[in-house]
Amino acid sequence: MWFLNGLFEGFVNVMTIMTTDHEVKSSGERESICPVCGERFICAHSASCWCASRKIPAALSEYLAGRYDTCLCATCLDRLIEQFSAAGS
């Protein structure tokens, strides 16, 4: 029984994170919270999102995938793009 209680508590925690970190807008856009700086921003979760115009180095893509479950805000993403681009040149 203790296992089920722990499993349920974990589920509640995940659902709380999902509903507080991402508020879905009527257009399909989501209000997200940057895991780096805590800034709120809008993410379209599609090819029309603002981040689709950024050129993300492969090393940065791997770095992000290994560390974060959500998108970053424009300021933090741009800063990391600059750092990874400078390191690669």
Please state, rounded to an integer, the average pLDDT across all residues of the chain.
Answer: 77
Name all contacts of 80-88 with Cβ < 8 Å and 24+ positions apart. Answer: 81/54, 81/55, 81/56, 81/57, 84/57, 84/59, 84/60, 85/57, 87/59, 88/57, 88/59
Task: Tell me the per-residue pLDDT of 47-56, one tens digit each, with 9 for 90 and over.
Answer: 889 999 999 9
**From first to last of its 89 residues, what are the pLDDT tens digits of the chain?**
333 344 334 433 333 334 344 455 556 788 999 999 999 999 998 888 999 999 999 999 999 999 999 899 999 999 999 999 998 75
The whole-number pLDDT of residue 57 equals: 93
Separation between Cα atoms, residue 30 and residue 10, nearest integer Å: 23
Domain coordinates in residue numbering, the chain:
2-88
The single-letter DSSP state of residue 51 is: G
